């Protein structure tokens, strides 16, 4: 069974609102195609159809207004009871590289895996915390002796507003 | 391999690698038996790089970043695994059979390179008083050798590992410049202390804390580490060699500025400096952190035969001569298959370097070296109590090596008569150890209804303020903390698995109370909001005076075949030759009579160089 259409045009903008990272930051991970494939593989087609139908409405009704859009997401998409917890699983996926239901269902911690090796490396929780994933993107000898240098973590979410 | 070697050696961790390198460079013929996979033994550029990248990919792929995660799990040569530690005893669900009352909380790695693949690399020396615990404090036993006896061997170990550090900074109870000597420097300069350390130090350096009516002055010291930094031009040593005339192992060279940094095994130009991967445990992607394969690679390979996938099952003891006639081992082709071929290796001298658990297991399996009834006893670890909280300001953890600064204040003192001493590393990796942060911060944020910018902001605000303080408490030797073997518990090849009996004595539990009292004062002085949570459902949750504490294992598995001055109460002589079989030596942390408050690898490596000299002397006699 397949979804009634391809939702990649909606996946990035709704991911941006869900994660707080703008679409450019999300695309820069190189994970967009992998993650879209993950959600469509791990959920029923009807769940995906319903979720994106609602997501499209939320984005339209929100009209790029931050408070309004967030309020709609909080009531229409975010609750764990909605769409098999898809919104929260999408957030966890971008932040950690894990498909949470698979990790939670693993027979042991040793057998719990990320979506892919690169999904771990591209996890956005490290960026949010002004650091890098341990074991990758190393910042160089002695860099830890100073506060991190990088783009300000509180950058305005301009491209989210402009996303649709 | 039907011919006789000078030495048959079991295990390729740091102890085995030091023996292999030292003996082959002295012209002795060595057979090394390693239980782990052949792929992990690759030392030439392309195969070793390919194999190590597989480790790294496995590390990336696993959701849990535990110590043994990147490395192959071999049914034919299982390793203990911290992920198998459970809050119940007895149980038998992993490699170790945990009979309790508490589960033993540490693991090690059976692989080419041994546990140095996942070690952190902290290498402080032990203190002189650590060698006299019975005489000075009435606890445990004295070592049969003194700190001064070990001092020249420490210098060899620091050369071999490639220690980065500042000798002048090593000041604390029972520790100052005299521990090292006036002109001594480490091969490389100190690893920079983290930004977080510098914030800690503002309110912790020279903080006065009160404990049981006595005041102590807390200080902060840079941690010597086995990872590459900038060569110290004042360092004068250039190598370790066997002097055939004096019959001594010598640390050679008296020429400043000649120290050569040892890079990755696949490329000397990789890993010349720590690059700040912040993943030392479980894997340094560039091998700037020392691992034993670097030492093994320096062996004279024309004198060294290596058999991998070769699991020792039994020592063949000749009851008439009291010597070993050989070592029986099982060779597997497929690590998940019960099919094996049994072989026997023969040498003039046999050396077990398989780690404290495996060495004891092999001896017990063979009824060898145990006239003292001490084999398997006095199993020790550092019992790690953690405290975690949030700094009032951002300190930016999850950067740099795991530890760049430690508090030496409670490493030694009269209190050791009453409760265990500890070293306190400041941890650079946030709450990752106790709470699996920052993944848990994401899930907690979601549970609190946060998403979008609010979630991102909350991570930016809290993860960056995470503080973690360790107390690595010195476990005293206890004959009832032990490993045994039983025909009831075997692995896929029919070899025994370790059966563990383990507890934390009152001496340890009181140290948790003491450490928490000290930690509370340090947190208060730094304005750190305490989020520490010890839960009765934790695997190693203990109580003392109606309060609960949780400890974790440090991965410092020590003391199962201790060294001593009498065959009545020890397994090996100070030379590390067994009292019972004069052609059998044991090397590794199992020889240590007590643990001190140092991460044990450096001390064990120093002891292993001592053993290497004794073995060479015996071969030449």
Half-sphere exposure of B572 (CA within 13 A, CB side): 33
Domain ranges of chain A: 8-161
Q: Please name the residue of chain B whose CA is at the shortest distance from the CA of residue A129.
A: B460
CA B513, B532, B379: angle at the middle one, nearest 5? 55
Give the residue ranges of DSSP H helices in B280-337. 292-297
What tokens appear for B58 in the block?
């496995």
Mutation target to probe the B interface, by most B beta carbons within 10 A, among A25, A119, A129 is A129
Nearest to B276 among A114, A141, A157 (CB): A141
What ipTM goes with this model?
0.96
Q: How far apart are CA B398 and CA A144, in angstroms?
A: 9
In residues, how long is chain B? 621
- Structural domain span for residue B94: 5-620
Asked if A17 is an interface residue toward chain B (Cβ–Cβ < 8 A), one would say yes
Per-residue pLDDT, A112? 95
- On the 0-12 / 13-18 / 19+ scale of CB atoms within 10 A, A107 is exposed
Q: Which residues of A touch B190 (CB under 8 A)?
A: none
Question: What DSSP string describes B67-116?
Answer: TTTTS---GGG----GGG--SSSSB-SSSSEEEEES--------STTGGG
Mapped onto helix, strand or coil, the DSSP state of residue B485 is coil
* B240-258 pLDDT tens trace: 999 999 999 999 988 899 9
Q: Total structural domains in chain B?
A: 1
Mapped onto helix, strand or coil, the DSSP state of residue A142 is coil
Per-residue pLDDT, A1? 65
Contacts of B178 (CB under 8 A, 6+ apart): none
Task: Mark the ranges of chain B whose per-residue pLDDT is less than 70.
Answer: 1-3
Q: Which residues of B touch A78 (CB under 8 A)?
A: 449, 451
Under an 8 A CB cutoff, do A18 and B65 touch? no
Contact at 8 Å (CB) between B594 and B412?
no
Per-residue pLDDT, A127? 97
Per-residue pLDDT, A154? 55
Per-residue pLDDT, A33? 98
Exposure string over B494-525, b if 16+ CB within 10 A, otherwise e: ebbbbbbbbebeebbbbbbbbbbebbebbbeb
Nearest-CA distance A69 → chain B (Å): 10
Distances (CA, A) of B281 to A89, B79, B268: 28, 16, 22
Per-residue pLDDT, A152? 53
Q: How far apart are CA B23 and CA B7, in angstroms?
A: 8
Tokens 């949750």 map to which residue? B541
Mapped onto helix, strand or coil, the DSSP state of residue B600 is coil
Contact at 8 Å (CB) between B610 and B162?
no
* Secondary structure of B360-403 as H, E, C letters: HHHHHHHCCCCCCCCCCCCCECEEEEEEEEECCCCCCCCCCCCC
Tokens 């030292």 map to which residue? B22
Q: How far apart are CA B163 and CA B229, in angstroms?
A: 9
Contact at 8 Å (CB) between A100 and A38?
no
* Residue B310 CA to its chain's centroid (Å): 23
Under an 8 A CB cutoff, do B400 and A95 touch? no
Mutation target to probe the A interface, by most A beta carbons within 10 A, among B65, B442, B454, B465 is B442
Q: How far apart are CA A52 and CA A90, in angstroms?
A: 12
Give the CATH number, domain containing residue B280: 3.50.50.60
Element (H, E) at B250: strand B248-252
Task: Mark the ranges of chain A whose per-residue pLDDT is less than 50.
Answer: 157, 159-164
């Amino acid at each position: 069974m397949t979804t009634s259409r391809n939702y990649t045009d909606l996946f990035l903008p709704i991911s941006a609102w869900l994660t707080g990272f703008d679409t450019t930051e999300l695309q820069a991970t190189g994970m967009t195609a992998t993650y879209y494939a993950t959600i469509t593989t791990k959920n029923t087609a009807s769940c995906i159809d319903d979720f994106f139908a609602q997501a499209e409405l939320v984005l339209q009704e929100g009209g790029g207004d931050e408070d309004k859009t967030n309020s709609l997401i909080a009531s229409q998409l975010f609750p764990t009871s909605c769409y098999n917890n898809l919104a929260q699983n999408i957030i966890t996926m971008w932040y950690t590289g894990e498909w949470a239901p698979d990790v939670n269902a693993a027979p042991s911690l040793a057998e719990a895996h990320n979506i892919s090796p690169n999904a771990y490396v591209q996890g956005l929780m490290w960026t949010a915390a002004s650091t890098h994933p341990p074991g990758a993107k190393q910042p160089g000898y002695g860099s830890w002796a100073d506060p991190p240098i990088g783009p300000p973590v509180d950058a305005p979410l301009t491209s989210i507003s402009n996303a649709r | 391999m039907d011919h006789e070697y000078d030495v048959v050696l079991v295990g390729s961790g740091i102890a085995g690698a030091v023996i292999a390198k030292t003996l082959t460079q002295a012209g002795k013929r060595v057979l090394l038996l390693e239980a782990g996979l052949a792929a992990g033994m690759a030392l030439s550029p392309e195969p070793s790089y390919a194999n190590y990248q597989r480790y790294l990919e496995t590390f990336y792929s696993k959701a849990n970043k535990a110590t043994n995660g990147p490395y192959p799990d071999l049914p034919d040569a299982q390793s203990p695994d911290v992920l198998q530690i459970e809050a119940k005893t007895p149980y038998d669900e992993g490699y170790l059979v945990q009979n309790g009352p508490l589960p033993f909380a540490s693991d090690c790695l059976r692989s080419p390179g041994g546990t140095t693949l996942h070690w952190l690399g902290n290498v402080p020396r032990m203190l002189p008083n650590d060698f006299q615990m019975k005489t000075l404090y009435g606890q445990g036993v004295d070592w049969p050798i003194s700190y001064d006896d070990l001092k020249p061997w420490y210098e060899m170990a620091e050369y071999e590992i490639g220690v980065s550090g500042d000798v002048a900074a090593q000041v604390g109870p029972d520790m100052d410049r005299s521990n090292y000597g006036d002109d001594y420097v480490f091969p490389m300069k100190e690893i920079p202390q983290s930004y977080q350390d510098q914030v800690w130090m503002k309110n912790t350096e020279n903080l006065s804390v009160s404990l049981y009516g006595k005041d102590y002055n807390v200080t902060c010291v840079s941690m010597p580490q086995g990872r590459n930094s900038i060569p110290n031009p004042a360092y004068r040593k250039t190598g370790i060699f066997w002097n055939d005339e004096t019959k001594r192992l010598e640390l050679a060279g008296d020429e400043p500025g000649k120290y050569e940094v040892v890079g990755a095994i696949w490329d000397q130009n990789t890993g010349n400096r720590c690059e700040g991967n912040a993943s030392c445990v479980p894997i340094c992607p560039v091998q700037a952190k020392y691992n034993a394969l670097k030492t093994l690679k320096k062996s004279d390979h024309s004198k060294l035969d290596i058999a991998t996938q070769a699991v020792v099952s039994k020592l063949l003891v000749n009851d008439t001569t009291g010597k070993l006639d050989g070592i029986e081992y099982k060779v597997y082709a497929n690590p998940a298959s019960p099919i094996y071929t049994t072989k026997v290796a023969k040498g003039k001298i046999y050396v077990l370097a398989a780690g404290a658990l495996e060495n004891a297991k092999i001896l017990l399996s063979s009824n060898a070296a145990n006239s003292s009834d001490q084999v398997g006893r006095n199993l020790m670890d550092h019992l790690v109590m953690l405290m975690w909280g949030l700094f009032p300001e951002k300190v930016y953890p999850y950067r740099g090596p795991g530890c760049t600064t430690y508090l030496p204040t409670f490493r030694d003192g009269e209190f050791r008569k009453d409760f265990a001493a500890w070293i306190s590393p400041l941890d650079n990796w946030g709450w990752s150890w106790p709470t699996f942060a920052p993944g848990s911060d994401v899930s907690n944020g979601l549970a609190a209804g946060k998403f979008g910018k609010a979630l991102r902001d909350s991570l930016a605000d809290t993860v960056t303020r995470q503080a973690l303080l360790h107390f690595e408490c010195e476990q005293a030797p206890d004959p009832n903390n032990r490993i045994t073997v039983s025909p009831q518990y075997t692995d896929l090849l029919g070899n025994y698995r370790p059966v563990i009996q383990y507890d934390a004595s009152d001496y340890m539990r009181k140290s948790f109370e003491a450490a928490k009292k000290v930690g509370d004062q340090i947190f208060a002085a730094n304005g750190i909001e305490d989020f520490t949570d010890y839960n009765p459902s934790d695997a190693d949750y203990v109580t003392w005076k109606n309060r609960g504490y949780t400890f974790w294992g440090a991965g410092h598995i020590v003391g199962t075949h201790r060294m001593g001055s009498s065959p009545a109460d020890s397994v090996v002589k100070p030379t590390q030759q067994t009292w019972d079989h004069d052609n059998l030596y044991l090397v590794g942390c199992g020889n240590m009579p007590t643990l001190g408050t140092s991460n044990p690898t450096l001390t064990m490596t120093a002891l292993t160089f001592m053993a290497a000299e004794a073995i060479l002397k015996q071969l030449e006699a």
